[in-house]
């Protein structure tokens, strides 16, 4: 969805005549790129869940 939004905002950016509207679409593109990167990093963490689930408080530790 973020990729589609970026594509749409770029289309609007290219067609924007005014400076202010261009700034708004540039801002929206940056926000969507940030969202995409965040979602990708969360998805990557979930793909490798066994690495972080077995660490720290979730891992098997010897009892004291």
Q: Which phi and psi (to 5°) does residue 52 adopt?
A: -95, -20
Residue-wise pLDDT tens digits, 6-62: 999 999 999 999 999 999 999 999 999 999 999 999 998 888 777 666 655 655 556
Q: Are 25 and 9 in contact (CB under 8 A)?
A: yes
d(CA 54, CA 51): 6
d(CA 5, CA 32): 7
pTM: 0.69
Compute the residue count for the chain.
64
């Amino acid at each position: 969805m973020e990729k589609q939004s970026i594509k749409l905002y770029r289309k609007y950016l290219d067609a924007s005549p005014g400076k202010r509207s261009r700034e708004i679409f540039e801002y929206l593109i940056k926000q969507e790129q940030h969202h995409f990167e965040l979602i990708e990093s969360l998805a990557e963490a979930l793909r490798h869940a066994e690495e972080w689930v077995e660490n720290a408080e979730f891992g098997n530790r010897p009892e004291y």
